[in-house]
Amino acid sequence: MIMFRLSTHKELKFVQNAIDNLFGEKIAEKFIQNKHLIIGEGKWKEIFVVSDKMITILKAIADKKQPYSLGMQIGELDKNKKFKLSLEAVFEIVKYTSHKIQLSAKGAQTILYGRNISFSAVDKIYYKAKKGDYAILLDENGFPIGLGKILHDFAKMQQNQFKICIKNIIDLGWYLRKGE
Amino acid sequence: MSVDDGLVKELAEKYRYLNYMIKRYLEMFGKEETVQFLEANEQRLMPTLRCNTLRIDEEYFVNLFTKKGFILEKIPRIAYGYRVFKTPFPLGATNEYLLGFYFLQSEASMIPVQELNPKPGEIIIDLAAAPGGKTSQIAQFMKNRGAIIAIDINRKRIKSLRSNLSRCGVRNALIIRMDGRQISDLDIQADKVLLDAPCSGEGLINRDPTRKTSRELKDILYLSGLQKSLIDAALTCLKPGGSLVYSTCAIAPEENEFVINHALKNEGINVKKMDFIRGSPAFTDLMFGETLHPSIKEARRLYPHKDGTEGFFICKLQKDN
């Protein structure tokens, strides 16, 4: 059973730092501000962002029934305490970060099938991407469709045209593969 | 009303229904309209979708989809609703679907939330929420402000509810897996309640022809009991002055008018006239042995042969202040 509670200050800072380290300073604050961080604690920890009104309801029902889910799930802390970002968080973060890579239509389809990306599928890189970075992947119309891990520095990518240059971390195809 | 047994048998054989269903249709509609209804059930309905403005601007979406070769037509008087005349790709597998730009939702099923008219900041209970079409529509009307308490009991369906709300960018829902009949245990008073009740699905025969033979009358009576318990529970958690919309995709009066008739036995509960003017007035004459309250005529029935939708029932109730 998952028990829901307000995050501790330490947990809040941990999540904020995890997001900021991946996407730039004060990114987390921009979409968490005036909201609350809730931890759903079961076999692992799920992290949710919720409004004041939902906190009031959660408190009112907490001793009668625990929810299944609430607000916006922004990620999980796995067994090794590693923060895994959710698709919902990607939709928020994309509004504020420059860590974005636009793919061709074919590249977008590749990502949505859960596969990795070659350099030829990259249309535009919005920042100076470095090996190990995480970037939000955009489709040909500029809409976020997933999250990728950069496998090579941008300069090397251009020179070498690597077969695989972005590893698929999460993508919207999840909703078809596992979501329903 | 007595019906011709020979006609019952003939129509049941021709359209492959259980005899009791045809007999009841003849009692409810008469011969001519029954045949029209059965014929309409053989036709596929046009696909419809609701543009999800939590994720995309409506005009932008229409332009984007039109460029991709889809032909859309706005459904009159249904906010964000579109009929899809041409679909070059399956609607459930486009990038735009995954992006949550639309929800595949039937025309009739968009009406209950429109009648409920949720407002930003309110507390809304959605008592049988999975798979989330109407829940996400509520969130859309609320602009993700306020709170939706989305209840469902089914373990598998609640996963799909969560996934759909996530896909559609719903941020103000609190999902609880529980029996809706126990909702009063939570001690929550809502501004509005949606009860799109679990039903026999008799109105969906044009989508699921197995329904022609899959349910007996005893199943309808069982569901009617469940629906009455659910509406009683729903009314207990409605604030004074609050409103409840009850809907089903059922044809049987036991699942519709009888449930409302039962709800009206609660003190201070009245049927409210709806803004939506399509459809036929609900039954108010003596029906299958039950005398119905005259105010139930304000509820609406939609039919495939009259309205081009699945069979549907909608009623709005209000609790006195």
Residue of B123, B163, B185 with shortest CB distance to A175? B163
* B79 in Cβ contact with B114 (< 8 Å): yes
Residue of B99, B164, B178 with shortest CB distance to A172? B99
Is the Cβ pair B99, A51 closer than 8 Å? no
Beta-strand pair B102-104/B123-126: unpaired
- Work out the burial of residue B128: count CB atoms within 10 Å of its CB; fewer than 13 is exposed, 13-18 middle, 19 or more buried: buried
The catalytically annotated residue of B168, B199, B237, B249 is: B249
DSSP string, B263-289: HTTSTTEEEE--S---SEEPP-S-BTT
Is the Cβ pair A180, B166 closer than 8 Å? no
The count of CB pairs under 8 A between chains A and B is: 91
Q: What are the contacts of A164-169 at 24+ separation with CB within 8 A?
A: A164/A116, A164/A117, A164/A118, A165/A117, A165/A118, A165/A119, A165/A122, A166/A101, A166/A116, A166/A117, A166/A122, A166/A135, A166/A137, A167/A116, A168/A111, A168/A114, A168/A115, A168/A116, A168/A117, A169/A85, A169/A134
**Quick one: pLDDT band at residue A180, thresholds 50, 70, 90?**
low
CA-to-CA distance for A110 and A103, rounded, in angstroms?
10
Counted domains in chain A: 2
Q: Are residues A23 and A53 in the same domain?
A: yes
Task: To the nearest 10°, report the CA torsion of B49, B50, B51, B53.
Answer: -160
Task: To the nearest 10°, report the CA torsion of B89, B95, B98, B99.
Answer: -140
* B115 in Cβ contact with B275 (< 8 Å): yes
One-letter amino acid identity for B180?
G
The dihedral through the CA atoms of A145, A150, A153, A155 has a sign that is negative
Q: Are residues A163 and A106 in the same domain?
A: yes
Residue A79 has pLDDT above 90, yes or no: no
Is the Cβ pair A68, B121 closer than 8 Å? no
- Work out the burial of residue A1: count CB atoms within 10 Å of its CB; fewer than 13 is exposed, 13-18 middle, 19 or more buried: exposed
Q: Are residues A77 and A104 in the same domain?
A: no
Check residue B266 and give its pLDDT: 92
Q: Are residues A65 and A122 in the same domain?
A: no
Joined together, the tokens standing for residue B244 give: 């409840």
Beta bridge partners of A108: none
CA-to-CA distance for B68 and B94, rounded, in angstroms?
10
Domain CATH code at residue A34 = 3.10.450.220
Query: If you measure CA to CA, which chain A residue comes closest to B125?
Result: A57
Q: What is the DSSP letter of B94?
A: S
Find the helix or strand (DSSP H, E) in which A161 lies.
Answer: none
Mean of per-residue pLDDT scores for chain B: 96
Beta bridge partners of B272: B316
Q: Other CB atoms closer than 10 Å to residue B67's CB: what's the count?
A: 9
Of A47, A65, A93, the one marking the end of a domain is A93
Q: Are residues A130 and A75 in the same domain?
A: no
**Quick one: pLDDT band at residue B40, thresholds 50, 70, 90?**
very high
Residue A65 has pLDDT above 90, yes or no: yes
In chain B, which residues have their Cβ closer than 8 Å to the Cβ of A145?
95, 98-99
pTM for the model: 0.96
CA-to-CA distance for A78 and A94, rounded, in angstroms?
23
Q: Are residues A77 and A117 in the same domain?
A: no
* B65 in Cβ contact with A141 (< 8 Å): no
Check residue B307 and give its pLDDT: 95
Joined together, the tokens standing for residue B65 give: 């989809």
Query: Tokens 């709005």 label which residue?
Result: B316
Q: In what order do the strands lie in the sheet with A83-85?
A: A3-6, A36-41, A45-50, A72-77, A83-85
**Quick one: pLDDT band at residue B254, thresholds 50, 70, 90?**
very high
- Work out the burial of residue B231: count CB atoms within 10 Å of its CB; fewer than 13 is exposed, 13-18 middle, 19 or more buried: buried
Residues within 8 A of B (CB atoms), A 78-97 only = 86-88, 91
How confident is the model over B239-243, as a mean pLDDT? 97
Q: Are residues A52 and A129 in the same domain?
A: no
Q: Which residues are CB-contacts of B320 (< 8 A; sequence separation ≥ 6)?
A: B240, B241, B268, B269, B270
Of A36, A61, A93, the one marking the end of a domain is A93
Q: Are residues A71 and A106 in the same domain?
A: no
Q: Are residues A7 and A87 in the same domain?
A: yes
* A102 in Cβ contact with A143 (< 8 Å): no
User: Does A111 reach chain B within 8 Å, measured CB to CB?
Assistant: no
How confident is the model over B138-164, as a mean pLDDT? 97
Is the Cβ pair A51, B187 closer than 8 Å? no
Is the Cβ pair B166, A71 closer than 8 Å? no
Q: Are residues A117 and A156 in the same domain?
A: yes
- Mutation site for B-interface testing, chosen from A31, A66, A70 by largest number of B Cβ within 10 Å: A70
Residue B249 falls in the annotated catalytic set: yes
Residue of A68, A141, A176 with shortest CB distance to B98? A176
How confident is the model over A155-180, as a mean pLDDT? 85
Q: What is the DSSP letter of A50?
A: E
Domain CATH code at residue A109 = 2.30.130.10
How confident is the model over B208-229, as a mean pLDDT? 97
Residue of A57, A69, A179 with shortest CB distance to B167? A179
The dihedral through the CA atoms of A109, A113, A114, A118 has a sign that is negative
What's the domain range around A161? 100-176
Of A93, A124, A142, the one marking the end of a domain is A93
Residue A160 has pLDDT above 80, yes or no: no
Q: Are residues A86 and A104 in the same domain?
A: no
Instruction: Give ipTM to 2 decimals.
Output: 0.95
User: Does A139 reach chain B within 8 Å, measured CB to CB?
Assistant: yes
Check residue B6 and give its pLDDT: 94
Q: Are residues A118 and A76 in the same domain?
A: no
Contact residues of B toward A, CB < 8 A: 64, 93, 95, 98-99, 121, 123, 131, 145-147, 149, 158-160, 162-164, 166-167, 169, 171-178, 185-188
Check residue B231 and give its pLDDT: 98
Check residue B303 and give its pLDDT: 97
- Work out the burial of residue A37: count CB atoms within 10 Å of its CB; fewer than 13 is exposed, 13-18 middle, 19 or more buried: buried
